[in-house]
Structure 1
Amino acid sequence: MTVEPVVGVVRTGSGPDVVLVHGGAGPTATWAGLESLRPRWTLMSVYRRGFPPSPRPPGGGQDFEVDADDLAAVIGDTRPHVVAHSYGTLGVLVAAARSPASVRSLTIIEPPLYHLAEDDPRVRALRRLGDTVLTEGPATDPAQLREFLALAGSPESLSAGAMAAVRRAHGARLPSEARPRLELIRAHGTPVLVASGGHSPALEQVCDALADALAAQRVRAPGAGHFVAAAPGFAERLERFLLSV
């Protein structure tokens, strides 16, 4: 039985389906740079709960397990390629581990899977910073907020838009609680590309560890910080991966 998605999905382009799952920023900011793919691919931009027109998350806080349920309904039996960014990668990996055959490929961009490289002090520091901002929200020490927002790609630090994003993320289920069954994805042989922007040594360590865990292809695309999709050459590299599957 087909389950209708609860979350909003906007389709653009023509060709095989590519589901795009954003993180803490909305789809427009996250996927700027992929416009060149539209003549050959149908880009399905998912609006995670809390991002209109999708409803608010149950209880008000973002939750990657709820995301996984929502994404399973979006994917259905169409077996699309899936591209995910930041917090959005957690729900994608949980959903893919539940049903590895449901996706044609995965592209995972800068996931907050800190436990994969927890021996690195830079990764531990990043986890603490992220957990603090999600737990304390706008009440976070301003210096810590600026550090986190700069890493997350906010160009104007404590701007009104950035603070709105902080309020939306406040109370989210912490990424440090995520333990997707990566071994199930690898055992199925799902093709995976892991991408990063070369701007954070801690995130580079996490991405390297994830690529090892999933026997994935690995790409670094500097030039756009955390918003890797906008980096020079990334869209072309992504398309080569999609075509290789």
Structure 2
Amino acid sequence: MSESTFISDAQFTKYIGVLKQYPISLFDQFNGGLYLPNRLDSLFQDAAMTIPVTAPGDPVGAMLDLSGRENHWLSANPGTYQVANGRRVVRFSGTAQGMYMRASGREIFSGAQQGLVILRASVNGTVTGRHMFRANVQGGNVALLALYMNSTANNMRMGARRLTGEAESLNSYPGISGAPESYTFDVDWFNGRFDSYKNGSGLLTKTLESIGGLPQSPVNGMFLANYDSTGYAAMDFHGGAILAGVGNLSAERERLEQWIAENS
């Protein structure tokens, strides 16, 4: 049982006498993860999470999930911690540097009816097909959700589907500026709807090929700044969140987008 209250105009959720501040409170209902390179204590040089990141140039072998769900990003070919225009970021070179979701995190989308993924990043090099983020479907090597570049068309593409064998529902946003930008997937698999946003606006809507919740199984891989040997993205990752489950995640979009922009 929970109850909501307001303290100093900041919303908290109370669980058995413990107050959880927004957005941590969301993860009691939804699976997912919260990632903020601005929190230096969440970055480690090794995937075993034994050597803290302390200075620009240090490799980032692990980025901790701050939601409490322990869905951490790990890397065998790490990018580096950098400070860009006063902002702490994880920088990926575009050549073999990227992160993968630990095994437990591949359960985030298991049985989900809705999903909300917000990624804030700046692109410092564009090559067609480079993936900033990708989660595969359950049981297949095609994208459930994907954010990737098309330098020929000078646009960023956001794709979604429900099941392997279905066509990708694709939204495209013109212009790749190199400035920090937020990209949001707001997906309702249960009702077959995919909405996407860039910087909190620019709503584009697509219909998915089928309707229903996702299968009760882990996805076949989840990746940040890479997908395969040709899909590495040159980018600075500023922060983001992944949420999935059953509930009205769309109602949280604007507030969570703003929170990530202000805290990354």
What is the TM-score with the length of structure 1 in the denominator? 0.30
More helix by share: 1
What is the TM-score with the length of structure 2 in the denominator? 0.29
More strand by share: 2
Q: Quick check: which has more Rg, 1 or 2?
A: 2
